[in-house]
Amino acid sequence: MPPEAALAAPAAPQSAIPTHWRRPALMLGLAWLGLILAFLPDWLTMFDKWWNVSTYNHALLIPVIVGWLVWQRVPQLAELEPKPWRWGLPVLAGAVFLWVLGAFSGFDLLRQAGAVAMLPASALLLLGPRIFAALLFPLCYMAFMVPFGDELVPPLQAITAAITISLVHVSGVSASINGVFIDTPAGLFEVAEACSGVKFLIAMIALGTLIGNVCFKSWMRRAVFFAFCLVVPILANGVRAWGTIFAAQYVGIEKAAGIDHLIYGWVFFAVVIVAVLAASWRFFDRAIDDPMIDAKALKAMPLLDRLERAGLPEWGALAGCGALIAGGIAWATAATALVAPLPKQVGLPDVPGWQRIDYAPQAAWEPLAGGADHRLLGRYQDAAGNQVDVFYALYASQGEGKEAGGFGQGALTPESTWAWTGNGPAMPPAKSERLLSGGRIERLALTYYRSGDLLTGSNMRLKLANIADRLLLRERTTAVLILSAEKRRDFEPQAEISAFQAAIGEPGQWIDRIAEAR
């Protein structure tokens, strides 16, 4: 099949909107406008990421692509009649509740996912199940407007580092690896967050999903193509990182980095796209004149006939939509206003057998706790010379800009000299992480979260606890404790932290003592 045949748009539909579509289309347009205005802060936050964060630049095209996908289906949609559907109300309620959970937990991803999910949910409510089935893919494709993927950065760094060191060894270059740092004769290289390849992987997932729907009819071919779109960018990014290191052995780090910066970006992504399409083109099985949906089949489906019987007056659909939105916003506003009482000041307590000393790290290190009401950072030492750094943060509430455990918060501060090299030794219930600065200074950090009776190192468990508090309109503080130690000659961080833990006793009770100070 010729390339232009697979991606060509269908013949232009009639310019006039069918009579039976004019009122429903207007209602949906007004509903979507109202939803965007009601949750405008979330949409503005998403747009800011689309515009300013390269990982999400592709999302700027998603609304245009959704419009194009709907346009492809217009000739078939004209044969179907929209009808408001009462069971769309609980679906919309679920989308609103998702937003509410995000507002309760201070988890932007949930808020934004809820705001986006309200659009297809309202389409189901106002247009009915038959139209929703006809527009299923375009409406679901809206999910790519949600800026997700930051959580994939650490594992992608590790995968890229593993691929790179393997290729470095195969190419005959002697090298050693420590987490995301690769030491070679030419110098030390770091597989940084920007080099993880997350931006290409997420954009490739969006592109692969689109092409899979537009150019393939076979579900098996779609699945294979989608897997191809997952694997190729990851492997290609590893090859790119290896190429930089290999070239540096002969031309030096500065020249190799210059070449890498020249090709790294959308040029690199374009090459990956061309390679994937060139390998897949001959397997496209959708002809140019194949409609994207089968209107006759949708009209004849008995299941959709039965579902449509649960109709709803237009005014009832709009009123229900407005009530759900108003209720969700009111609930979130009431929960967000909850602020637990705090002491006027807090201080690090005395620890038996340990004394406070000047905080003088080998490399500057200060965990991030944005929006915390109290922060403490100090160093303890015992008679044997063990040293442990203690960071403590206390929050009166959780919300926008004050998220304990949020992305970029905690032991690893973004854009600092420190890099994550892997999980540390298991020391439950804390989260254990190994950090490295400058390729030579190692640090072990244990993170505890405390909310009510909960003591955990899991960010997810903390979020769930915060959500439960908001659902029940319960005032509770949230605290973060990070115990950390640098690796020094004759001292092991794990042993130093273990000795400190033995001195303070149960960590949760020690955290509570600090929070109760007056």
Digit-coded pLDDT (tens) for 195-206: 888 988 999 999
The contacts of residue 236 (CB under 8 Å, 6+ apart) are: 197, 200, 268, 271, 272, 275
**Higher pLDDT residue, 475 or 361?**
361
The two tokens of residue 250 are 């002969």
Cross-strand partners of 187: 184
Are the beta carbons of 146 and 305 closer than 8 angstroms?
Answer: no
**Higher pLDDT residue, 193 or 409?**
409
Position 230 confidence tier, pLDDT thresholds 50, 70, 90? very high
Poorest-pLDDT segment among 93-97, 247-251, 264-268: 264-268
The two tokens of residue 228 are 């191809």
Q: What is the pLDDT of residues 274-323, one digit of tens each?
A: 999 999 999 999 888 899 999 999 999 999 999 999 999 999 999 999 99
The two tokens of residue 508 are 């949760």
Cross-strand partners of 441: 437
* Long-range CB contacts for residues 96-99, cutoff 8 Å, separation at least 24: 96/324, 96/325, 96/327, 96/328, 97/328, 99/39, 99/42, 99/328, 99/332
Give the CA distances from residue 500 to residues 40, 425, 441, 444, 494, in Å, rounded to whole numbers and listed in that order.
Answer: 48, 16, 21, 14, 10
Predicted local confidence at residue 16, as pLDDT: 67
Report which residue type is found at 33: L
Q: Give CA–CA dist 402/399, Å, rounded.
A: 5
* Strand, helix or coil for residue 171: coil
* Strand, helix or coil for residue 347: coil
Is 148 exposed, middle or buried (CB count within 10 Å of its CB: 0-12, 13-18, 19+)?
Answer: middle
Query: Any idea how long the chain is?
Result: 518
pLDDT cut 90: percent of the chain above it: 70
* Averaged pLDDT score across all residues of the chain: 90
The edge-to-edge listing of strands for the beta sheet with 176-178 is 176-178, 181-184, 187-190
pLDDT of residue 12 exceeding 70, the answer is no
Q: Give CA–CA dist 443/420, Å, rounded.
A: 10
The two tokens of residue 424 are 């540390």
> What are the respective helix, strand and coil percentages of the chain, to the nearest 5?
55, 15, 30
pLDDT of residue 6 exceeding 60, the answer is no
pLDDT of residue 7 exceeding 60, the answer is no
Which range, 183-187, 445-449, 456-460, has the best average confidence (pLDDT)? 445-449
The two tokens of residue 439 are 């390729």
Domain residue extents for the chain: 3-147+301-336, 151-282, 354-515
What number of helices (H) and strands (E) belong to the chain? 19, 11
> What DSSP assignment string belongs to 138-152?
HHHHGGGGS---GGG
